[in-house]
Amino acid sequence: MKDKIEALKIAYRTELDGFDFYQKSAKNCKNRLGKIIFDSLAKEEHYHIDMIKKIWDSLEKDENWPDFPKPGNDEKLMPIEFDSIFKDAEKEMDKNVETDANDIKAIKLAMDIESKGYDFYKKHEEKADNELEKQFYAKMS
């Protein structure tokens, strides 16, 4: 059980770091599309943090993996439809909107963070010894 809690502690810290990074990136991003995406990623990381903490608390309390917590009906992780974002972005591209080097760097870092998170969660999904744990890590990846 100790190794499961340790994995969740790592996941919690990673999600918290991601949340901080995405919030700062959204604040500093000069591109409207980038700002929206970073805001959405921060909101998603916040949801992951809450979910991980609930599972962690349950494991420490009774050593049972809880059923996968799901967002409430009124909770929408992504605030807008991506189709409309990209259509708007395409229009802006036609206006020769300049790209900020810091925005590009932040996007590359975000891609790296998400890629490492995917690898971490896939590894723990493969090692999971119960179905609820396996489902949790599959959802996270």
Each residue's pLDDT expressed in tens, for the chain with a length of 141 residues: 788 899 999 999 999 999 999 999 999 988 877 888 889 889 999 999 999 999 999 899 887 888 765 544 444 545 455 556 556 655 655 554 556 788 888 888 888 988 999 999 999 999 998 898 998 899 888
Q: What is the pLDDT of residue 104?
A: 84
Q: Distance (Å, rounded) from C-alpha 39 to C-alpha 18?
A: 11
pLDDT at 35: 86
Question: What's residue 17's pLDDT?
Answer: 94
Contact criterion met (CB below 8 Å) for 65 and 136: yes
| Contact (Cβ atoms closer than 8 angstroms) between residue 107 and residue 38 | no
Q: What is the pLDDT of residue 10?
A: 94
Predicted pLDDT at 50 = 92
